[in-house]
Amino acid sequence: MISYVRANGKDEFELINTLKARGGEVDTRVTAAVDEIILNVRQRGDEAVKEYTLKFDKGVPEKLRLSKEEIAEYAKSCSPELYAAMERAAKNIQDFHQRQVQQSWLNTKEDGTIMGQRIRGLERVGLYVPGGTAAYPSSVLMNAIPAKIAGVKELIMATPPAAGGGVNPDIMAAAYIAGVDTVLLMGGAQAVAALAFGTQLVPKVDKIVGPGNIFVATAKRQLYGVVDIDMIAGPSEILIVADETANPRFLAADMLSQAEHDKLASAILLTTSEQIANDTIAELELQLAALSRKEFAEPAIKDFSAVILCKDIDEAIYFTNKLAPEHLELCVSNPFEYIGRVDNAGSVFIGNYSPEPLGDYYAGPNHVLPTSGTARFFSPLSVDSFVKKSSFIYYTEAALKRDMADIVTIAEAEGLQAHANAIKVRF
């Protein structure tokens, strides 16, 4: 079953290295296959995309590109209950991300010089949405809504066609609610390449966001620089810090909520209570037995998860910052006491009634989060992910003359005579 470790300054850190390495190596055969797809799409465009769609999706839809009106039509097949729930979730997501918007600014000094920064949304963004069993409407909302708030002028979503060339109505409903402009019924590395380079049918985008399988993730990695990307996402993970006041049933359920994603997913419990540790392990076995996605959750719990007994909460928080988890739950009696000490975490869930799925679907903060320890330097997807910034400078003649000597001194120290001369020539 799950590993049970007593923190001793060694075993728990060996676990960190194991977790950060999982899923980190891309099979050379995958890389080679993706390179071939990218090259083929770059050279042959739509023709290559259709060939790969036929090969991997077993059929090419009559229409590969859907307009906003067609998206709305397909969205009508979504169940009313799901549609209403997604509308309410979208409102929460919009409210949270609206508060992230930055304004352009300028600063005029007494000497007449003006400095400033202009912020505006990207021109065109591509959103990749997986198909099949990994079709998640919530990801459409989380990626598209902040893009629209940022001022992205055109949002194009690529998603594989369903069996027989159809579409997933739930995905279409989420796209319509979030304001997606165009849907492309194409998937895989070929869709990523088409978005990056542009074809007759597919407009070239400035950035590609959204989750996908290993081929999609590898294509995004290979094409970074041709376009911008959000991040290279690894397997999902949750870390829970719990004391004796936590509920083992809640803890086990929350750990399994991530373990069911993928066989490489990770669920870690750090607790100061041996009783909580033992009871949670028992609950994991009980709940796992009844889980519909047991085939994914069981290997994740066995191979990449653990219960770690810590001497106190301070040790647990120290370990948390070392692991830098994607999701962190603080199931302790006084969780707000520790918020200021958590420096490395994608998203923090506070208290016993803020489970991780609340963030996945509904509360408002983004669920696109850094994984595999990258929360040390990466941030969640946000409005900032979809904007670009330019700075501007205005100097008067008098101001430039005043600062001339300093600028020339620095330029000449770097051996750049023309830089220095571009200042001196004006006087």
Active-site amino acid positions: 326-327
Q: Starting from the edge strand earliest in sequence, which strands make up the sheet with 207-209, in order?
A: 65-66, 182-185, 154-159, 124-128, 207-209, 228-229
Task: Find where tokens 């607790």 sit.
Answer: 271
Distance CA 269, CA 305 (A): 8
Neighbouring CB atoms inside 10 A of 125's CB total 30
Distance CA 301, CA 259 (A): 6
Longest C-alpha distance within the chain, in Å? 82
285, containing H or E segment? helix 274-289
Residue 200's nearest CA partner among 90, 45, 354 is 45
- The answer to whether 365 and 347 are in contact (CB under 8 A) is yes
- The answer to whether 355 and 377 are in contact (CB under 8 A) is no
Q: Starting from the edge strand earliest in sequence, which strands make up the sheet with 105-108, in order?
A: 105-108, 114-121, 387-394
DSSP 6-75: E--SSHHHHHHHHHHHTT-SPPHHHHHHHHHHHHHHHHHTHHHHHHHHHHHHSS--S-SEE-HHHHHHHH
Output the six-digit token pair for 135. 């079709």
